[in-house]
Amino acid sequence: MCFQKMMALGFAAFVFGAALAREADISVDPVTRCVHIAYAVPADAPDAASIVCTWSPPDSNEWRSAKVMPLLSETGLELVSGEEWKEWMQGRIVERRAAGLRRTLVFHPYPDAQIDGKVNVDLRIVMDGANPKELLRSRILVDNSDVVYMEDWTGVLQKDFIVADGTRPEGQWAYCAPEKADSAISGGLALYGASPSGAPLPQLSFMPGLKGHYAIFVCTPASCGMKVRLTGDERYDSLASRFPSEEILWRWARMDHQGIVLRQPHHYTGYTPGAMDYIKFVPLTDELAAKMEEPYDGAADKRIAGYWEPYSWAFVEDIRDNLQHREPLLAYRQAGILLVDTQLGRFGMKSVYETDLTDRLIYSTIGDPIGEVSQPRTDNVGRMQQFTTTVATEVRYARDLGLQWYANFGASNCYPGSPLQGDFSKNHPEWMRGSALRFEVPEVRDYALSLYRESLELGAMGVSIDFCRYPETIDTVETCNRFLQALHAITEEFGQSRGVHVPVLVRFPGAGVRRSELFDYRTWMRPPDGAAPWVDYLCPSNIQGKQLDIDAVPYLAAAEGTPCQVLPCIDGLGWGLPMPGPFLWRAMRLYEAGAPGLYIYQADARVMGAPMHQRTMRLLSNSGAIRRWWDEDARLRSVRSKRISITSPSELPGYHGWERLRIWVDGTPLGEMEAWLDGELVNRMPGPPYMLGTEEDASDNVIPPGDHRLKIRVKDGEGWLEQEFAIRGA
């Protein structure tokens, strides 16, 4: 979140200097306390102008690199590369097609240029080149002394748990210098902690003694973070700076009677090293705090359903107590996702709930690739099953939090030959097609229906089936219809006994997605002989990271005149749409088409993910909030730097055929774009969604294996904004 004009917050920013300084517009962002310097770019500047910013103690001419960045959207900052961030932290940015315009440079004075809360420096901006040109030289005085930094970690309440003698013993927290001399750590010291994987370090806490509203920023050593919460919170957030010196806006909150609690991170291998550089508290007036909360105010007018997978959560966490199940459900409630679609397993694999009808996942399991580890293994999921219940516990907490809790099963993935495979599929390989159970087999349908019945007996409020990730289980339209009719009969039975309707939600392949022709959604909503619909919610979806813009209009039209609701899917996985821009573009377009809500696949990755992702999710249930977000984006486009961003590959070593390289642009209207690969035009786009190629299967090989040069061109007035990237196909 960025405020363009300085607001009265009990601090001052004064500017002195030569005539060039009087042409600058210098202000202080009241939330970040960074200095914003708007300056004139010469009319003869090249299309890609190299801008260098340095600062010096007053009148000393001892110039050193300033930590700066261009003024970009949150989406642009989300997609920045590590190489570009490094240039920014060395005082170098590139302004594109900025000749004759005013651009804004964001200067981060802490810690080098801010002493005891005061900034008193000379600042210089130069356009580099064969004949460098000074664009601005100015004295800047800023009083940030009301900002509180927690950076001396010997000040925690648990002083006996901190070693501060320069060593870093295993099994203890240490306040010491980083192992790498070039690590960007404020003051040269940070909090570090490591322990054996099964023996966590003790929690730490401190009481800053603050009153009123504060914006809270966290900065950790790059890619090494910490779990953090306020003492009054019921759940932790996992926070880690992606790059050196990156401050994360964690949240804003009243700090009266509140402290901060730190906990060591946990991953699939066990407890992992934790680290914290500093936590920054910026005081906010009541008015400013209300303005920051304003985008999330207002009544919800859209129903948001979110997929929730205890398996994935437990894969990286240490789940030993039932009370821990409340934390993710609370995250869904805070995000405004009131329908929690909880996957309990995939038919044919071991289940992840307290079943008596099939075998449970009690011991080791495998997961999807993580970094360079192609098949990670863990005991974490089995541990959750050894010590907690899933359905009964989560239904109890869901009722307490006002959530609708559905029992979801993946139609089938048996994971043959792996620790995940269940006895049912092992004992009946003749009932399998590839890795999936065959639903045309009556015994398979009966097995699946028995698990739904059991989950309803345990208290599930609704049921759900995921055909989208697992369509191979269906061989004909009739097979799918037969199963859904039988599932509907079970929910009708429970509805009569409960005196309340028990809904059915179906996620299925949308148009163009593999095997979509086998899913007769029109019959589900209008069964033969005028019977009641077999389903209540239809969620046409993608399978992988390519068909992310499925046309929802045919499904919405088919549902007209029925009690069924269409909740088109937006994928929350890493191969999905970047946040917030492309993600909210898709949501806005679906609402404009008449969608009554959305289904967020793998919503847990977002509601318990990065703070900005959590804030984006909070917008989804209010269509007016999303419209206002886009109105504000349009208003600020002309003042932001012009820059093209691309998504990174989902997995190493490069882009795969099951995903698409997505594109975002700052500083120009969202208009015509061209994508070129190795000098050849691949596609033209009149507007968003922007990607290399199309979402059709024909574009699966648009990026061949190996290294390539990608050029993106965006219409910018009478000319084109161009940017090139080095990319690799897997």
The 3-state secondary structure of 395-410 reads HHHHHHHCCEEEEEEE
Closest Cα to residue 261, out of 177, 157, 331, 164?
157
Beta-strand runs (E) in 237-302 = 237-239, 248-254, 260-263, 266-267, 270-271, 274-276, 278-284
Burial 51-64 (b: 16+ CB within 10 A, else e): bbbbbbeeeeeebe
CA dist., res. 52 & res. 139, Å (int): 17
pLDDT recorded at residue 223: 81
Tokens of 85: 């961030």
The three-class DSSP label of residue 181 is coil
Helix axes 623-636, 581-592, angle to 10 degrees: 130
Closest Cα to residue 40, out of 133, 132, 120?
133
Work out whether strand 172-176 and strand 190-194 pair parallel, antiparallel, or are unpaired: antiparallel
CA dist., res. 627 & res. 531, Å (int): 39
- Tell me the domains of the chain and their CATH numbers: 13-143 (2.60.40), 148-294 (2.60.120.260), 299-634 (3.20.20.80), 640-729 (2.60.40.10)
Helix axes 477-498, 442-457, angle to 10 degrees: 30
Burial class (CB in 10 A: 0-12, 13-18, 19+), 417: exposed
pLDDT recorded at residue 23: 46
CA dist., res. 228 & res. 180, Å (int): 25
Closest Cα to residue 152, out of 116, 182, 188?
188
Sheet holding 68-70, edge to edge: 25-28, 35-40, 102-107, 68-70
pLDDT recorded at residue 7: 31
10-residue mean pLDDT profile of the chain (730 residues): values are 31 32 75 97 98 98 97 98 97 98 97 96 97 96 97 97 94 91 82 95 97 98 94 98 97 98 97 97 98 95 98 97 98 98 98 97 88 87 97 98 98 95 98 98 98 98 96 97 98 98 98 97 95 97 95 98 98 96 98 98 97 98 98 97 97 95 98 98 98 96 98 97 98
pLDDT recorded at residue 24: 61
Global pTM value: 0.95
pLDDT tens track for 559-576: 999 999 999 999 999 999
Radius of gyration of the chain (CA): 27
Peptide bond just before 653 cis, omega within 30 deg: yes
Q: Dump the DSSP string for 57-118.
A: STTT---EE--EEE---HHHHHT--HHHHHHHHTTEEEEES-TTSEEEEEE--TTTT-BTTE
pLDDT recorded at residue 3: 29
